[in-house]
């Protein structure tokens, strides 16, 4: 197929139906969307609109019921589980609402895990990269701590480090600030904004208009359909308030 | 109202976790089934034996005898002992099994009883006691030309009333019609070495006149007080004039012998049941704790609205009460069917006990105990509800209080500080993760090794017992040398001449080597009065018999069996006074050996006795290339009075009563062991995988494939299974062997130090592989469904 060099991720006529319910629930109902290279895209919508399902379908965590997903021109829906896992390991990073970590590993090992798995023969490079990430996000001093010994903000920053450990081309974040207080939210969003500024493509699901205002573009989902989208342009701290107000006005129009 | 709430809650809960609940119920049903069956078999056995004893009135003491006897001495003895209620001397005619043939006029079918190795004694019905009883419980009195055959033969050779029996005498065949079948209180057990046929007085006299039968007598006594049988036996044995060239048996021994052979099956059932109950309880504990952890928020909410912890615990307990109750009912019903099958033999050999309260009460009591025990343990585990704190439960979803949470975090931190993936230079990172998980969560996985430990013990012990009792090397527990052939010469008038013939033939036979003759000589020794001591006199050079303590006897020394050494409280180096023909000598005990033959009471002396013995046994090895069975058959034909059989067959026949029970136990334990292993692994993994959903979701998001995640689960399972199985094997071979040895030595068989003679390939290779395969199979089935799952669902918890 022809491929637009600026598009990193693209979905075509994507649907997802859960057959475990009676009757089956169609959560996504034919979504066409694309994410540009280096773009910070936010997905918004009311609870149950299909935001998270869309995120997990385009990231290859779940198999869509029908339709296709292309990452850098490669059809993810045709890959085997092992191939898809490899794509997630080397090309994608994930940040969740709860900082899910393996509690039998310390913070540093949790971050190191995907890096060592992706390139077991380049362990020294991987270790150096992870240590640099720990320094950059200000959590090097808690690297040997257990996951119950650090704050929620530190843990979510560690999540970002882990998502970046394999230098992915795209980062998926599902409500990354949903479980944090306001100061920790700012801390995490600053970190994500930094990551985006350095060129990483970012797709984030959020309920929080203040967080969404940091995006380049926002799309809005209702009942499994993509109903509208809005370009916000590049974020700057000075214009933060105006962007947020404008976004809120648009969201109200959408019925948010 | 309240009860219906508990019931509704239990019902909903049962329906919610069908798989787990079904697995739990299956284990509980198996436990209660075996417990009920074991107790019912025991009850029926005791009932049947008692019933037969009531009908048949067996003697309280009996002495068998071959050869001449002095009837006046017996009469004098009886007159001098007022404790005798009644006494009789039963005359018997012993015929070799090969001398008895049968044919069925209706079909033309025929055969003989040659396969049977036990003595066939023809008798007439007694008048006062020791009756042979027919299938209806009546005392049959055959007319001329009729014979009643032992029920054991009816089953073994499929004989029917109306068949003809032909007995080969010196004057041709005597033909009798099978009129019916008889049960024999004295010789009912499969342990007995003889069995009785009932004929009319006229036919008995005819058989005696015709010749070919070996006359024997049994002197039988009914005592006013049966508990004095042991004292009576001593009095009998100390009277030199009385006949005693044969086995002496007391009422108590008859009862024990009867109960022991068939009782072993019941004991094995109860043993398996106890292990299964242990497994069921471990599972229940695991499931209940898991449920409490999963539903801690709901419990917190119930506590928050003011429900007392006891009411909450009752809500959960209701489900386990229902499950255990159902399991006991189903297990009990299945047990009724199984018991009817298992006790067919018992009922045929003994008697059908009349319906009684105990027949219902015993299994109900056993099931009641199972129910109460299981519910009590569940109640204990549910005490955890009391400790749950509302805020911790509702806010953090934790069962722990703050101090416990802090302690756990500290422990976890200490552990993770020590591990470092950066310095790990081993192989796959996935394997490393599986290992770290297992190390950190060992406590949660411990169920699997424990269950496999128990399953291994359950499967291995009965199999090792079976292989030990089946091994040709078991002769070392029979006080006999390890040889290929055994010739048994029982007492007859010309026994010394027969011995000479057989021995010289064997010694001159190229097919045989190392021929040794041993004589059964009766001595007397000082116990509580003078008592009979049976010694085997022969050549023990070359360490043919294994000694537990000390060594083989030199001339002028004696070696004692374990039971004799215990009875006379002697050990190696002590002196024992023996008497023969009125002449006493003190001899030194050279060693102690294990022996299950002749009730376990034997002795061995070095030397050669060629006359005056009660019987002889000749052992020989087959020369290279010679077939012991063929040689045995040859000698049996040439010397009809001698029983010549290959050693392997001798061991098998002598111990068939025990090996049969052990074989049933081994098969049963194998099936149950493997079944329970698969079931529990599946149940455990089902619950475990539910709890590990989030971790699997994280690993999937990080780029671990489903294949790798499944491999981690299977790897941990296999490792846990292997550890449990290994410990089980080690335990079975060490402490298990000692425990079984203790049980066997308590059983009074004459073995005080049992060493297993296992089938190494089966027990140490095949069993562990089968168990590991069973665990792996459970893991494969349970993990297979992970492939089709949506991984994002795992992250939602």
Residue A210 belongs to a domain with what CATH number? Answer: 3.40.50.300
Tens-place pLDDT, residues B145-168: 999 998 878 877 888 899 999 998
Range of the domain at A172: 7-254
Task: Judge: A105–B421 Cβ closer than 8 Å, yes or no.
Answer: yes
- Say what the pLDDT of residue B598 is: 67
Task: From chain B, pick out residues whose CB is under 8 angstroms from the CB of A85.
Answer: 700, 703-706, 708
Question: Rounded to an integer, what distance in angstroms lies between the CA atom of residue B236 and that of residue B87?
Answer: 13
Higher-pLDDT residue of B129, B233: B129
Residue A2 lies in a domain: no
pLDDT tens, chain A, 256 aa long = 444 558 999 999 999 998 878 888 899 999 999 999 999 999 999 988 999 999 999 999 999 999 999 999 999 999 999 999 999 999 999 999 888 899 889 999 999 999 999 988 888 899 999 999 999 889 999 998 988 888 888 998 999 999 999 999 999 999 999 888 888 899 889 989 999 998 999 999 999 999 999 999 999 999 999 999 999 989 888 888 899 999 999 999 988 7
**A113: closest CA of chain B, how far (Å):** 7
B708 has pLDDT over 60: yes
B453 has pLDDT over 90: yes
Dihedral sign for Cα atoms in the order B262, B266, B271, B273: positive
Q: Which residues contact B447 (CB under 8 A, 6 or more apart)?
A: B282, B283, B286, B680, B684
Q: Which residues contact B437 (CB under 8 A, 6 or more apart)?
A: A104, B712, B716
- Say what the pLDDT of residue A182 is: 87
B1 has pLDDT over 60: no
Helix (H) or strand (E) holding B516, with range, is strand B512-527
Interface predicted TM-score (ipTM) of this complex, two decimals: 0.89
A137 at the B interface (CB within 8 A)? no
Task: Judge: A149–B409 Cβ closer than 8 Å, yes or no.
Answer: yes
Dihedral sign for Cα atoms in the order B83, B86, B91, B92: negative
State the best of A20, A59, A84, A146 to mutate against chain B, taking most chain B CBs within 10 Å.
A146
- Say what the pLDDT of residue B258 is: 58
B252 has pLDDT over 70: no
Question: Rounded to an integer, what distance in angstroms lies between the CA atom of residue A84 and that of residue B96?
Answer: 81
A141 at the B interface (CB within 8 A)? no
Task: From chain A, pick out residues whose CB is under 8 angstroms from the CB of B787.
Answer: 81
What mean pLDDT is predicted for residues B212-238? 84
Alpha carbon B136 to its chain's center: 31
B735 has pLDDT over 50: yes
Residue A45 lies in a domain: yes
- Say what the pLDDT of residue B705 is: 92
Task: Judge: B416–A127 Cβ closer than 8 Å, yes or no.
Answer: no
B251 has pLDDT over 70: no
Residue (of B191, B38, B72, B198) closest to B130 by Cα position = B198
Q: Which residues contact B259 (CB under 8 A, 6 or more apart)?
A: B45, B46, B49
What angle do the packed helices B447-470 and B656-691 form, to 10 degrees?
170
Tens-place pLDDT, residues B309-332: 888 898 888 888 988 999 999 999
Task: From chain A, pick out residues whose CB is under 8 angstroms from the CB of B792.
Answer: 52-53, 56, 61-62
Question: Rounded to an integer, what distance in angstroms lies between the CA atom of residue B488 and that of residue B479?
Answer: 15
Specify which of B256-260, B485-489, B586-590 reaches the highest per-range mean pLDDT. B586-590
- Say what the pLDDT of residue B329 is: 95
Position B431 confidence tier, pLDDT thresholds 50, 70, 90 = confident
The shortest CB-CB distance from B702 to any of A52, A84, A113 is to A113
Residue A1 lies in a domain: no
Position B265 confidence tier, pLDDT thresholds 50, 70, 90 = low
Tens-place pLDDT, residues A152-185: 889 989 999 999 999 999 999 999 998 888 888 9
- Say what the pLDDT of residue A43 is: 96
User: Which tokens go with B208?
Assistant: 């005696």
Q: Which residues contact A156 (CB under 8 A, 6 or more apart)?
A: A95, A99, A176, A177, A180, A184, A188
Report DSSP state, residue B27: H
Question: Rounded to an integer, what distance in angstroms lies between the CA atom of residue A215 and that of residue A196?
Answer: 9
Q: How many domains does chain A have?
A: 1
Residue A24 lies in a domain: yes
**A223: closest CA of chain B, how far (Å):** 19
A114 at the B interface (CB within 8 A)? yes
Residue A193 lies in a domain: yes
Question: Rounded to an integer, what distance in angstroms lies between the CA atom of residue B258 and that of residue B58?
Answer: 12
**A126: closest CA of chain B, how far (Å):** 9
Q: Which residues contact B697 (CB under 8 A, 6 or more apart)?
A: A100, B791, B792, B793, B794, B795
Dihedral (Cα; B116, B117, B123, B127), 10-degree rounding: -100
CB B413 within 8 A of CB A146: yes
What mean pLDDT is predicted for residues B221-243? 83
Tens-place pLDDT, residues B17-53: 788 888 888 888 988 998 898 888 888 888 887 888 8
């Amino acid at each position: 197929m022809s491929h637009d060099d600026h598009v990193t991720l693209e979905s075509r006529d994507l649907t997802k139906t859960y057959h475990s319910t009676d009757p089956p629930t169609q959560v996504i109902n034919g979504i066409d969307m694309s994410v540009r290279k280096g773009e910070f895209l936010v997905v918004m919508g009311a609870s149950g609109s299909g935001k998270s399902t869309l995120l997990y379908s385009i990231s290859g965590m779940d198999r869509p019921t029908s339709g296709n997903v292309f990452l850098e021109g490669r059809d993810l829906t045709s890959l085997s589980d092992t191939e898809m896992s490899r794509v997630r390991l080397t090309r994608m990073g994930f940040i969740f609402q709860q900082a899910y970590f393996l509690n039998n590993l310390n913070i540093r090992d949790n971050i190191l895990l995907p890096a060592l798995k992706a390139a077991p023969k380049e362990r020294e490079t991987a270790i150096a990269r992870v240590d640099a990430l720990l320094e950059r996000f200000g959590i090097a001093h808690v690297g040997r701590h257990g996951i119950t010994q650090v704050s929620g903000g530190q843990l979510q920053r560690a999540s970002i480090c882990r998502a970046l450990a394999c230098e992915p081309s795209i980062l998926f974040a599902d409500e990354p600030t949903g479980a944090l207080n306001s100061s920790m939210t700012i801390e995490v969003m600053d970190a994500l904004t930094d990551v985006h500024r350095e060129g990483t493509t970012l797709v984030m699901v959020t309920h929080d208009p203040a967080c969404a205002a940091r995006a380049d573009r926002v799309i809005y989902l209702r009942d499994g359909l993509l109903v509208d989208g809005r370009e916000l342009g590049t974020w700057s701290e000075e214009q933060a308030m105006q962007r947020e107000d404008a976004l809120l006005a648009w969201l109200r129009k959408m019925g948010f | 109202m309240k009860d219906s709430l508990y019931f509704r809650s239990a019902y909903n809960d049962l329906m919610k976790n069908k798989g787990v609940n079904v697995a739990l119920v299956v284990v509980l049903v198996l436990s209660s089934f075996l417990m009920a069956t074991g107790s019912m078999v025991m009850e029926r056995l005791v009932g049947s034996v008692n019933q037969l004893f009531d009908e048949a009135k067996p003697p309280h003491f009996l002495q068998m005898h071959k050869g001449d006897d002095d009837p006046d001495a017996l009469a004098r003895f009886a007159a001098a002992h007022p404790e005798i209620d009644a006494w009789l001397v039963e005359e018997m005619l012993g015929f070799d099994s090969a001398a008895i043939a049968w044919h069925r006029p209706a079909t033309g079918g025929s055969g003989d009883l040659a396969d049977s190795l036990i003595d066939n004694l023809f008798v007439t019905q007694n008048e006062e006691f020791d009756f042979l009883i027919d299938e209806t419980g009546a005392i049959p009195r055959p007319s001329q030309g009729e014979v009643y055959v032992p029920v054991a033969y009816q089953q073994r050779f499929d004989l029917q009333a109306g068949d003809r029996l032909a007995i080969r005498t010196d004057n041709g065949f005597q033909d009798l019609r099978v009129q019916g079948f008889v049960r024999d209180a004295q010789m009912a057990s499969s342990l007995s070495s003889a069995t009785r046929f009932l004929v009319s007085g006229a036919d008995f006299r005819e058989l005696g006149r015709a010749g070919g039968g070996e006359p024997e007598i049994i002197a039988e006594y009914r005592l006013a007080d049966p508990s004095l049988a042991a004292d009576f036996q001593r009095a009998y044995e100390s009277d030199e004039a009385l006949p005693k060239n044969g086995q002496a048996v007391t009422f108590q021994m008859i009862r024990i012998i009867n109960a022991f052979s068939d009782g072993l099956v019941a004991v094995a059932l109860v043993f398996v049941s106890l292990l299964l109950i242990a497994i069921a309880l471990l599972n229940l504990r695991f499931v209940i704790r898991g449920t409490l952890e999963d539903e801690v928020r709901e419990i917190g909410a119930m506590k928050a609205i003011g429900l007392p912890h006891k009411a909450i615990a009752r809500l959960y307990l209701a489900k386990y009460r229902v499950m255990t109750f159902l399991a006991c009912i189903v297990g009990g019903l299945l047990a009724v069917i199984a018991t009817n099958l298992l006790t067919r033999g018992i009922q045929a050999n003994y008697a059908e006990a009349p319906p009684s309260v105990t027949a219902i009460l015993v299994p109900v009591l056993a099931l009641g105990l199972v129910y109460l025990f299981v519910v009590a343990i569940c109640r204990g585990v549910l005490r955890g509800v009391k400790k749950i704190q509302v805020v911790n439960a509702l806010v953090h979803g934790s069962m722990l209080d703050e101090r416990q949470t802090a302690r756990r975090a500290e422990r976890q931190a200490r552990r993770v500080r020590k591990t470092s993936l950066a310095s790990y230079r081993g192989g796959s990172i996935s394997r490393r993760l599986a290992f770290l998980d297992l190390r950190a969560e060992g406590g949660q996985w411990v169920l699997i090794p424990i269950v496999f430990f128990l399953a291994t013990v359950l499967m291995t012990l009965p199999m090792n017992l079976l292989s030990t009792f089946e091994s040709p090397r078991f002769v070392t527990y029979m006080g006999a040398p390890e040889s290929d052939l055994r010739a048994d010469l029982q007492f007859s008038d010309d026994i010394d001449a027969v011995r000479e013939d057989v021995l010289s033939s064997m010694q001159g036979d190229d097919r045989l080597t190392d021929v040794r003759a041993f004589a059964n000589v009766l001595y007397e020794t000082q116990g509580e009065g003078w008592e009979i001591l049976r010694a085997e006199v022969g050549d023990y050079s070359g360490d043919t018999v294994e000694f537990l303590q000390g060594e083989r006897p030199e001339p002028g020394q004696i070696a004692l069996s374990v039971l004799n050494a215990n009875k006379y409280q002697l050990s190696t180096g002590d002196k024992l006074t023996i008497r023969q023909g009125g002449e006493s000598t003190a001899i030194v005990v050279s060693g102690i050996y294990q022996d299950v033959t002749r009730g376990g009471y034997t002795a061995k002396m070095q030397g050669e006795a060629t006359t005056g013995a009660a019987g002889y046994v000749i052992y020989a090895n087959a020369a290279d290339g010679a077939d012991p069975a063929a040689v045995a058959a040859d000698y049996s034909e040439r010397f009809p009075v001698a029983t010549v059989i290959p050693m392997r067959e001798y061991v098998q026949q002598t111990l068939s009563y025990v090996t049969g029970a052990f074989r049933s136990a081994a098969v049963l334990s194998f099936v149950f062991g493997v079944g329970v292993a698969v079931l529990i692994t599946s149940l455990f993994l089902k619950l475990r995988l539910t709890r590990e959903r989030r971790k699997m979701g994280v690993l999937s998001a990080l780029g671990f494939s489903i294949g790798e995640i499944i491999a981690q689960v299977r790897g941990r399972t296999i490792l846990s299974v292997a550890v449990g199985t290994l410990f089980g094997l080690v335990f079975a071979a060490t402490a298990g062997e000692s425990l079984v040895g203790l049980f066997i030595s308590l059983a009074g068989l004459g073995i005080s130090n049992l060493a297993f003679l296992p089938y190494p390939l089966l027990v140490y290779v095949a069993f562990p592989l089968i168990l590991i395969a069973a665990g792996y199979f459970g893991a494969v089935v349970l993990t297979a469904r992970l492939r089709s799952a949506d991984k994002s669902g795992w992250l939602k918890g």
